[in-house]
Structure 1
Amino acid sequence: MKESWRWYGPFDRITLAEVAQTGASGIVNALHEVPYGEVWTSEAIVNRRDEIAGAGLGLSWDVVESLPIHENIKRGEGDLDRLFGNYRQSMKNLADAGIFTICYNFMPLLDWTRTQLDAPVKRGGTSLRFSQPHMAAFEIHMLEREGAESDYSPEVREAAKAWFDASSEGLRQNLLNSIMSGLPGAFDRYDINGLREALKRYQGIGRDEIRANYARFLAEVIPTAQELGMRFCVHPDDPPRDILGLPRIVSSEEDIAWIMDQQPELANGLTLCSGSLGANPANNVPAIAKRFAERVHFAHLRNVAKEKDGSFEEAAHLDGDTDMVALIAVLIGEEKRRRETGRADSDIPFRPDHGHELLDDDKRGTHPGYPLVGRLRGLAELRGVIRAVERLSV
């Protein structure tokens, strides 16, 4: 498995020289400064590629995360021919620059969502947290979304009301900021009124409509990816449940099977995110990895600890509810199978996802969930598991 590291380019407080010291050699990057729906030019791609490779640190831009999908595609409205054409042109420009793996997601409006960015961790440090009562407080009492109450149990609604009544304006603003923090680069962040307006554009769009729009997207791009020799890999929903009343359709084994069936080509694949899938109590992550192993083109390895009310917290990489050793064994077994069958893309790139903020991480001001020390710890732990599993599988 190839050790990789997510780097935000000009937005990142971590330098390439520091990334090199982690031991990772693959860079996971995107042109976050380009507005959604616009073409990634060959010049911009080559400049970023050469910035990474030209640093003389043994690094290469191996995975794009993400080539974002415009909201109009998810809603199925507007000048879709132009948007699909721009998307395919960006794909071609990436392939021409020697970059062939694209991670993307189809989450409506919001990307990954958390309600707290600095939850205290036992023995020190902080982690990302999703609190079901806090999300309910946001939807019911701050956003005042119609029908939100029906999405939460009576116990969660009671806890949400208690938190809201006791909260200050500062705590409520912090909750809004936390929910908005999963959107990197050139994106829209919303205040309460802006979010209400954005949600209106999704009125009347349910699960079936989102699925139909996603199926069209795949039909528009996967044949091009296949022609270019690219590997497209969808990232699961995070968290794997509807948010703000918007359907999320990449949350379960059944969802993934539906996606793979839409375009059976190898180019249509999966980003195996153990944390996103692991937050759904119904998901057996190693089993999902085994079922779709042939189509796993990229892996995010992290762990979460779930709670009965639907809340969860980012755990240390080898802790939490997912058996990371079993999962890594599946991925290494798939790599071996690929080598034996002559597949050129036998090595699965992975990155340590979402680390705890440890030691002086809190002083750097990095993107939430992407500290230096916390991810370095995770990478070291995962590296040890990988070496042990590889040795035992010989």
Structure 2
Amino acid sequence: MIESWRWYGEFDSISLGDVAQTGARGIVTALHGIPYGEVWPQDAIAARKRQIVDAGFNWVVVESLPVHERIKKGEGDLTTFFANYRQSMANLAAEGVTTICYNFMPLLDWTRTDLAAPVDGGATCLRFDAVRMAAFEIYMLGRRAAEDDYSHAVLAKAAAWFQAATEDDRAGLLSAIMAGLPGAFDRYDIAGLKTALAGYDGIDRDALRSNYKRFLDEVVPTAEDLGLRLCVHPDDPPRDILGLPRIVSDGADLDWVLKAHESPANGITLCSGSLGANPANDVPAIAAQVADRIHFAHLRNVRKDPDGSFEESDHLEGDTDMVALIRVLLTEQARRRDAGRADHAIPFRPDHGHHMLSDLTRDLIPGYPLIGRLRGLAELRGVIKALAHD
């Protein structure tokens, strides 16, 4: 497997020199400064690749080439947006960058309510707290329909939290929820978020699936022609949120995605944390189900609470059996090698991580510390080495 590291380029206070000391040799990045929907120029891609190669790395995965919100909504004439996406794909292929991770989550990417929840020993982690999310939806957004999405116990605690919360508490909650858009240009206040959510009025699960199928129809043939592999990232969290449908949340959803285009170019980013946040998901079993179309893996772990809350755990200590999951990936990698595929190795990266030690005082992207991910990578490396030895 290819040890990789997500790097945010000019937005990242972690340098490529720092990354070199982790032992990872693949870089996962994007042109985060380009607004969604615009073409990624080939010269900009070439410059980023040169920066990565000169530092001793390979650019192994693009994460992400964003899908514009108008495509997700199926809104208006999308000819230019689809053409721009295909041109960006062509420009990446021309520079030899051939794996593209993307997501089809409406409006927000990963969503958390706490960016620095305390962990035993003094570290902090990302957390999705059902009580705070309910308080945000019902009392800050005024989305009364959200009451149907939470238990009576959570609703009671949400009302109590909101009544006791200060303006700073509420502002901090909004900021945390908006933090799942690193490198994006849209950051919403409450009024702006209400307006953005209104743009999805009438778009249910079936409508969003239809819009997703249209996107795949527009880009998968181009990916086939260019020798690219697209890999969708699962929803995070894997549940409807803010009244928005989520359609890449479990094994059945992934099966639908893969059947929408029976092509090696149409694949999956296997994110163990995103899928693992759904109590009904058996992540190793899902990985085995879609193994031949896994083009990229995010390896992290979460610990779930009965009320629907979850938080990032140590990579080997959460609810997902990480050893069993890695065994599935190694088995698939061996199958590809035995079939004669030159590109049999699966790139993976340690996803998220606890903020600990000196990272606690650094200005870092939430969830993407240096030391916490280094610890995760070291643990995952040990599991991979042990399983490969067996």
TM-score, shorter chain, exceeding 0.5? yes
Taking the aligned partners of 1:155 and 1:219, their CA distance within structure 2 comes to: 44
Residue of structure 2 in register with 1:166 after alignment: 164
Deviation at 1:187, TM superposition (A): 2.0
Taking the aligned partners of 2:333 and 2:80, their CA distance within structure 1 comes to: 38
Q: 2:351 aligns with which of 350, 353, 360?
A: 353
- Per the alignment, in what secondary structure is the counterpart of residue 128 of structure 1? strand
Residue of structure 1 in register with 2:92 after alignment: 94
- Per the alignment, in what secondary structure is the counterpart of residue 357 of structure 2? coil
Deviation at 1:149, TM superposition (A): 1.0
When the two structures are superposed, what TM-score results if normalisation uses the length of structure 2?
Answer: 0.99
Q: What amino acid does structure 1 have at the position aligned with 2:92?
A: L
Deviation at 1:152, TM superposition (A): 1.1
Taking the aligned partners of 1:146 and 1:310, their CA distance within structure 2 comes to: 19
Query: What do residues 293-319 of structure 1 show as CA deviations (whole Å, max 9, x unaligned)?
Result: 000000000000000000001000001
Residue of structure 2 in register with 1:152 after alignment: 150
- Per the alignment, in what secondary structure is the counterpart of residue 356 of structure 2? coil
Query: What do residues 6-25 of structure 1 show as CA deviations (whole Å, max 9, x unaligned)?
Result: 00000000000000110000
- Per the alignment, in what secondary structure is the counterpart of residue 164 of structure 1? helix
Q: What amino acid does structure 2 have at the position aligned with 1:102?
A: I
Deviation at 1:78, TM superposition (A): 2.4
Deviation at 1:148, TM superposition (A): 1.3
Taking the aligned partners of 1:227 and 1:364, their CA distance within structure 2 comes to: 44
- Per the alignment, in what secondary structure is the counterpart of residue 272 of structure 1? strand
Q: What amino acid does structure 1 have at the position aligned with 2:223?
A: A
Deviation at 1:133, TM superposition (A): 0.6
Confirm whether residue 291 of structure 1 aligns to residue 289 of structure 2. Answer: yes
Query: What do residues 194-239 of structure 1 show as CA deviations (whole Å, max 9, x unaligned)?
Result: 0001011111111110000000000100111111111100000000
Taking the aligned partners of 2:327 and 2:149, their CA distance within structure 1 comes to: 37
Which structure 2 residues correspond to residues 1-394 of structure 1 after superposition, within 5 A? 1-55=1-55, 58-392=56-390
Q: What amino acid does structure 2 have at the position aligned with 1:12?
A: D
Taking the aligned partners of 2:328 and 2:146, their CA distance within structure 1 comes to: 39
Q: What amino acid does structure 2 have at the position aligned with 1:322?
A: T
When the two structures are superposed, what TM-score results if normalisation uses the length of structure 1?
Answer: 0.98
- Per the alignment, in what secondary structure is the counterpart of residue 182 of structure 2? coil
Taking the aligned partners of 1:118 and 1:38, their CA distance within structure 2 comes to: 33
Taking the aligned partners of 1:146 and 1:40, their CA distance within structure 2 comes to: 41
Deviation at 1:185, TM superposition (A): 1.1
Q: What amino acid does structure 1 have at the position aligned with 2:3?
A: E
Q: What amino acid does structure 2 have at the position aligned with 1:261?
A: K
Taking the aligned partners of 2:374 and 2:359, their CA distance within structure 1 comes to: 11
Deviation at 1:60, TM superposition (A): 1.3
- Per the alignment, in what secondary structure is the counterpart of residue 373 of structure 2? helix
Query: What do residues 90-118 of structure 1 show as CA deviations (whole Å, max 9, x unaligned)?
Result: 00000000000000000000000000000
Q: What amino acid does structure 2 have at the position aligned with 1:369?
A: G
Taking the aligned partners of 2:60 and 2:270, their CA distance within structure 1 comes to: 16
- Per the alignment, in what secondary structure is the counterpart of residue 217 of structure 1? helix
- Per the alignment, in what secondary structure is the counterpart of residue 147 of structure 1? helix
Q: What amino acid does structure 2 have at the position aligned with 1:228?
A: L
Q: What amino acid does structure 2 have at the position aligned with 1:188?
A: D
Q: What amino acid does structure 2 have at the position aligned with 1:263?
A: H
Deviation at 1:145, TM superposition (A): 1.3
Deviation at 1:79, TM superposition (A): 2.6
- Per the alignment, in what secondary structure is the counterpart of residue 188 of structure 2? coil
Taking the aligned partners of 2:223 and 2:304, their CA distance within structure 1 comes to: 36
Query: What do residues 322-351 of structure 1 show as CA deviations (whole Å, max 9, x unaligned)?
Result: 000000000000010000001222000000
Taking the aligned partners of 2:298 and 2:185, their CA distance within structure 1 comes to: 23
Query: What do residues 246-290 of structure 1 show as CA deviations (whole Å, max 9, x unaligned)?
Result: 000000100000000000001100000000000001100000111
Q: What amino acid does structure 2 have at the position aligned with 1:26?
A: G
Q: What amino acid does structure 2 have at the position aligned with 1:340?
A: D
Bigger CA drift: 105-114 or 146-155?
A: 146-155
Deviation at 1:189, TM superposition (A): 0.6
Taking the aligned partners of 1:270 and 1:343, their CA distance within structure 2 comes to: 18
- Per the alignment, in what secondary structure is the counterpart of residue 100 of structure 2? strand
- Per the alignment, in what secondary structure is the counterpart of residue 234 of structure 2? coil
Q: How many residues are treated as equivalent by the alignment?
A: 390
CA RMSD of aligned residues (A): 0.6
- Per the alignment, in what secondary structure is the counterpart of residue 204 of structure 1? coil
Taking the aligned partners of 2:373 and 2:184, their CA distance within structure 1 comes to: 24
